[in-house]
A and B are shown apart, each in its own frame.
Chain A
Amino acid sequence: MSGILASMIDGLLVGSVYGLAAMGLSLIWGVMNVINLTHGAMIALGMFGMYLLFGLVTTNAYLLLLPVIAAGLVLGIVVYWMAVHWVIGRSELMSLLSTFAVNMMVIGIGTTLFSTSPYNVNFSLPGITIGAYTFTGNHIAAAVSAVVIALALQLFLYRTRPGKAIRAVADNREAAELMGISSTAVLTIAFGIGIALATASGALVSTMFPFTILSGGAYELKSFVVTVLAGLGKPAGALLAGVLLGLLEGALTPFIAVSWIPLIEFGLFVVVLVALPHGIFGRATA
């Protein structure tokens, strides 16, 4: 196997997790026009949620995703009522500042509790070796989990009444309310799901890499790039864009120093914002 192919497979695996992280950001933006700056902090909480649960119940770490997702959902609902509900419909700057404040609170409390020292979830699954290259079991399991969660979200949004209500509110809130849908309940659930996706991605990252309470920031930035690539407010596209971003990273790294990758990614971010404001999937997934 060539180094380029191995690198692209690695990119594909980690890109799936980028995609899952971005889905939460994209969903919240799409439904309520809120740029959720608690996203990185929630990813970090997902990491620590997995770490603490794994410390309590030593089992297959991926089985612990369900309680992390459930806790993320509840946390999202709490944050919605604490900081988001009151600024919905007002200037976007208000929700930006409000979520930023929550982000700072979470980081502050997290730093007090966990310091900024690195933590690990000491769990590993056997990997797959092809030639000189080994793909770790954790990377593969994390990528598969990300895709399964993303598909479950799609099924929820397209096959269930609450999911359809979320799409209806995202499409036209007033019309949805005229049809008897409680937009407040829908926004609460949507925000909760967005945060649950962020915590799930954090939990998956924690099984692959060490983390600190500040680690969510890097994935938040990736999520912004992925969300813009996919087109704002398109959660399904976010998964694909995440995979594409991972593939791009994998394809480039054999030829350039890894430290150049963020520069290229954010260059792409600006180009897509200017040239393709609806994202690379634009109309197709709109």
Chain B
Amino acid sequence: MHFENIFLPRWIVKQVTLLAFVLVLLASVGFCQQPITIGFTVSKTGALNVDSLEQYRGFELWRDQVNAAGGIKASGKSYKVQFASYDDESNSKRVQQLYTRMILEDKADFLFSPYSSGLTATAAVVTEQYGKIMLTTGAAEGKTYTLGNHYLFQMFAPAPEYLKVALDALKAKDPKATVAFVYEDAAFSVAVVTPAKAYAQQQGFNVVFSEAYAPNTTDFSAILDKVIASKATVMLGGGHYADGSTLGRQLYARKAALKMITLLVAPDSEKWVELGDAGVGVCVPSQWEPQVTAKPQFGPTVAQFDKDYRAKFNAEPSYESAGGYAAGLILQHAIEKAGGIDAAKVAEALNATDATTFYGRTQFATAPNEHGLQVGHSMVLAQWHKDKSGKPVKQVVWPLASKSANLAYPIR
């Protein structure tokens, strides 16, 4: 009597054996795909929510694409990316609590920064304390990098670069312009405007007015009366979306006779088009625009990122979105180079990074007195124009090598 005749037919034994083999194989692949947790907060509510959500979309798109491609691959292992994220309500106290929670309770392997320089400075205190790597994006203020931090890496070109592009463009167009600075009294905008004032004077501009306003300001009447009284021909400043969009609206409603208006951050948002004619002509220093092409060493091309982003969110990507995606991409590259998620090895790989992606060049300073500061990335100046159908479109106007349209000057 044959064995199989007593118990099971031979073909069933073969099938079961094959199935068991496949299951073991799948399980071993599953074991190889370890999860990797990246923690960050998003300002889902509060004054920073518009810009912060755009950054978050960048993170999301990167995560989905990486996981769809089988995760981050390093030393034969595959890491599936998962997020631990919370609403920080645009509030630094929440950031402090939540970054501690993400490190201690959610066991985050790496962190991305919250949106804005102020919130990032708060988060950096916590991440450095626990020796966790944090890629900062949506945070350009540079002081945090002078404090001897070891695990902080900045994706945005630092604050002094922002208005430098605007002043360079202005110098080429109207070297005799008189300049007013009106800016949010917040870490980021102060860090931008302080060196910009010095640079403007160095370039020979007459700075006729300068004043900071409280971050929650909604009535700019008094400040705009002062700008008009100062007889400035150009105004530079702003802060984030909430105040910048209000300032833009009120400048237009008051028919301020300015030849050039450059505002930080706000005009880069896709929501800027809601301002209608009030938004046309306004310039914004930008970390990234789709018109500026760079040949990537890895990751998507500019066109691919732009297409994928629009397909997923039915919206135009802003530089905050691009910065969010690029932060993920650079971290992924460093993990691949390091061969795993060991913090010291990944930090070493980040220190050695000098790469060009769709976002442009990325390189971090390694000197102890400015460790992690972004030294490779450069900025452009964009301006809202109208296309032939009258629809508002953002064009790159400076530097000349990257321009997609000429600077409209004067704007009205």
Contact = CB atoms under 8 A, between A and B. Distances in A.
A134 B45 CA distance: 34
Interface string B270-285: 0000100000000000
Interface string B255-278: 101000000000000000010000
A2 to B, nearest CB: 8
B216 interface: yes
B223 A258 contact: yes
A136 B253 contact: yes
Contacts of A120: 249, 274
Contacts of B253: 124, 127, 134, 136, 138
Interface in B79-100: 89-90
Interface string A202-213: 000000111110
Interface in A100-144: 111, 115-118, 120, 122, 124, 127, 129, 132-134, 136, 138-139
A111 B49 CA distance: 13
Interface in B205-222: 211-214, 216-219, 221-222
A226 interface: no
Contacts of A35: none
Contact of B254 (A116, A136, A257): A136
A116 B249 CA distance: 20
B228 interface: yes
Contact of A259 (B212, B257, B274): B212
A209 B254 contact: no
Contacts of A14: 219, 221
Interface string A1-26: 01100110011001000000000000
B219 A215 contact: no
A183 B216 CA distance: 42
A118 B222 contact: no
Contacts of B50: 117
Contact of A3 (B229, B246, B254, B274): B229
A201 to B, nearest CB: 14
Interface residues of B, number: 34
Contacts of B214: 258-259
Contacts of A139: 221
B27 to A, nearest CB: 44
Contact of A210 (B45, B89, B90, B245): B245
User: Which of B45, B212, B246, B274: most chain A Cβ within 10 A?
Assistant: B45
A115 B43 CA distance: 11
Interface of B: 44-47, 49-50, 89-90, 185, 211-214, 216-219, 221-223, 225-226, 228-229, 242, 245-246, 249-250, 253-255, 257, 274
28 contacts: A3-B226, A3-B228, A3-B229, A7-B221, A7-B225, A10-B222, A11-B222, A115-B44, A116-B45, A116-B46, A116-B49, A118-B242, A120-B249, A122-B274, A133-B225, A133-B228, A134-B253, A134-B255, A136-B250, A139-B221, A210-B242, A210-B245, A210-B246, A254-B225, A254-B226, A254-B229, A258-B214, A259-B185
Interface of A: 2-3, 6-7, 10-11, 14, 111, 115-118, 120, 122, 124, 127, 129, 132-134, 136, 138-139, 208-212, 215, 218, 249-250, 253-254, 257-259, 261
